[in-house]
Chains A and B, each alone.
Chain A
Amino acid sequence: MIILFWILSGVFLGFFFYFLLRILQMRHDKINKRWGRVYTDNLIIEEKTFRLSDEIEIRAWSYGSTDFIDYEHKMPGVIIIPRRDKKYPYFEHWGAHFALQGYPTLCIEVYDKKLSLNKFVNKYSSILRSIKQEFVNDKRVDASKFVYFGVEDSAKVALLEGLKDESVKVVCGISMPKIHSSEIKKDLGDTDVYLMHCKDDEIVPYVDFEHNKKVLNVGEHDFLSLDLGGHHIICQEPIASAFFSILIKKKLQPKYRQIVRKEIS
């Protein structure tokens, strides 16, 4: 009979530890795994592999909207360089956000935690340049207008590379590290830089954001500063994405098919 005790005890303790582990996992995931695949029929997603040399192979995901299949106008291309500590599909939501507005969008996976910031920026700047040259061939893309969108360290890649390229009209940076004035040319030309930062960022201090604003001559309405969210802008992603989208639309003036009210008889 005592064997029944051991079996039941095993079952109950098993359940106990299973639920305990799940609780701990959910508490962790709530902050660290907030984003994943975006499943919707409105999106066209395609995985791409860019073989840039014998050693470098980069995975990227291209996003488009089903609302724009027969669209006669070419649209500005958006290239997203996400956080370098996250793999696909953590950044898919950024791609989906821009693609659903009609922008042909490419998200590049830059998972590379070990490199120092400088080495990371150097390596991925040249990669971004090569990938962009191929992205230009996408028949949906207006080759004269590009948006580079970078998050955290990758924002620096987007900025430094974007400022060198005349077809890049907008660079968006979230929680961007400090930029030294020597790293960029004085005249930014026709390129607008939009920045976003949270005041409680514990990795890139807010003073660095203020510094970047000055160095990059960011316009009065071209930055978003939020009180909370930290370095990874937790819970502020929809605000940041919409804020940038509004500015991008204002700057690039993409043509949207207008839907007007039909007369009611």
Chain B
Amino acid sequence: MQIRQKLREVNWSNFLIKLILTFVLFSTVPHVLFYIPYWLQLPPLSLNLGWEFNGDIYLPSYYLSIFYAMAGGCFIAFTIVRFDYKFNRQIREVKTEQVSLEKIKIPIGGGNSLVGDLLKSPITPKNNASVLIMCHGLGSKKEMLHYLGFPMAFMGFAVLLYDSRGHGETKFGKKFDSLYIIRDLSNVIDYIQERAEELGDLSSDNIFVFGISMGGGVVLNEGYLDQRVKFVIACCSWADYQMTATRKLKNLSERIVKAGYELQGINLTPSNLQNRLVSPILNSFNKKKGFFEQPVDWRVDNDYRVMLAHCKDDEFINYENFKINRDFLKMKSENYIVFDKGNHTFSGVETSLMGKLLLWLWQRGY
């Protein structure tokens, strides 16, 4: 039943069907071809092709089939390991007694809540602490951002990381509920406001949002629109969801990424309306929330409020997105950082990203 349910959730696009068919063809047809010489040597044709070992005409085809399967299997393993190598940098957990971790539940209505971690260091003020909300990427979880969150706690922030619906410890919703995932950020900010009033440990006047990948999309949409948010920091985020999802793919790696998303049920062929709701250049930039929560025009000091980071070789959210965001926000070079290499996880440049982030915050009085 679970498998049927999972199969039903898959986004069966033409692209995915074609890719699966190609895979099936490559894993079956060659085996048939290997046996053709064998069949040709059998009666009634009984051709003498010399396709034999010690008189056994079956063995060459059999061996070829095995060698091909070995090469194919190894290629699949290589692809999996390569993905892990490129994108899973966090191979050790971040743990220290110097940072306290409070498990929190953020109610978002309908009896559901998001599970979060609130990090505080001895430097974090006991009362009225500035809050940095960190949003993870699609298919990821809050712990994957601990390596960025812990140092921010040492800077004096109360760092709030949460699992989006369908992710990590949050056990309701689906990974592909993109619009709800974006809108949930507003509930997280509500939670901070309420807690600031009740307990007084957090400040509702100094709320920062930071997001990577899908998290970047969350903060550039919902975080940007929300005037309660003081600063927005987005790493490898999209500008136009439709453009990103339907772009011409450059290599096998990008095809596998796209197939992986569609297997999880993500809609990568959004309608224009869907696109409008989740693309910052259409939805949020230079706007704020109006009386009915709808985006209305607003003159924003983007140089003060927004920081962007991206890698040129990003295989998930291509670099074009960054350029569009940067140009749309008319950003000065000191408010963003671009790395030539680092892919989607800032692989090998995490410390550099951290350096730039610290400078950006210090230049704003933190």
Contact = CB atoms under 8 A, between A and B. Distances in A.
Q: Is chain B a partner of chain A in the same complex?
A: yes
B92 to A, nearest CB: 4
Main secondary structure of the interface of B (DSSP, over half): helix
Contact of B67 (A12, A225, A238, A258): A12
A256 B362 CA distance: 7
B277 interface: no
B7 interface: no
A249 to B, nearest CB: 7
Interface in A225-265: 225-230, 234-239, 241-243, 245-246, 249, 256-262, 264-265
Interface stretch (B8-16, B44-52, B161-169, B179-187): B44-52
B109 to A, nearest CB: 32
A66 B333 contact: yes
Contact of A29 (B85, B339, B365): B85
Contacts, number: 201
A16 B67 contact: yes
A181 to B, nearest CB: 25
A246 B358 contact: yes
A29 B359 CA distance: 31
Interface in B12-44: 37
B136 to A, nearest CB: 16
B4 interface: no
A38 B337 CA distance: 12
B356 A264 contact: no
A234 B51 contact: no
B358 A101 contact: yes
A238 B96 contact: no
Contacts of B194: none
B363 A259 contact: yes
A93 B348 contact: yes
Contact of B358 (A35, A39, A245): A245
A260 B358 CA distance: 16
A71 B199 CA distance: 43
Contact of B301 (A1, A36, A96, A262): A262
A23 B151 contact: no
Interface string A9-42: 1001101100110110011011100111111111
B224 to A, nearest CB: 14
Interface residues of B, number: 68
Interface in B296-314: 298-301, 303-305
Nearest to A198: B92
Interface residues of A, number: 70
B172 interface: no
Interface string B349-366: 111111110110011110
Contacts of B299: 264-265
Contacts of A15: 71, 74-75
A233 to B, nearest CB: 9
A35 B339 CA distance: 14
A100 B300 CA distance: 26
B52 A2 contact: yes
Given A15-B71, A66-B333, A100 B51 contact: no
B64 A242 contact: no
16 contacts: A1-B51, A13-B71, A19-B74, A19-B75, A30-B84, A40-B349, A101-B355, A224-B98, A225-B98, A234-B92, A238-B148, A238-B350, A241-B351, A245-B354, A262-B304, A264-B301
B103 interface: no
B338 interface: yes
A238 B304 contact: no
B328 interface: no
B92 A229 contact: yes
Contacts of A239: 94, 147, 150-151
B334 interface: yes
A5 B300 CA distance: 69
Given A12-B68, A259-B303, A100 B359 contact: yes
Contacts of A238: 147-148, 151, 350-351, 353-354
B232 to A, nearest CB: 13
Contacts of B333: 41-42, 66-67
A98 B81 contact: no
Nearest to B362: A256
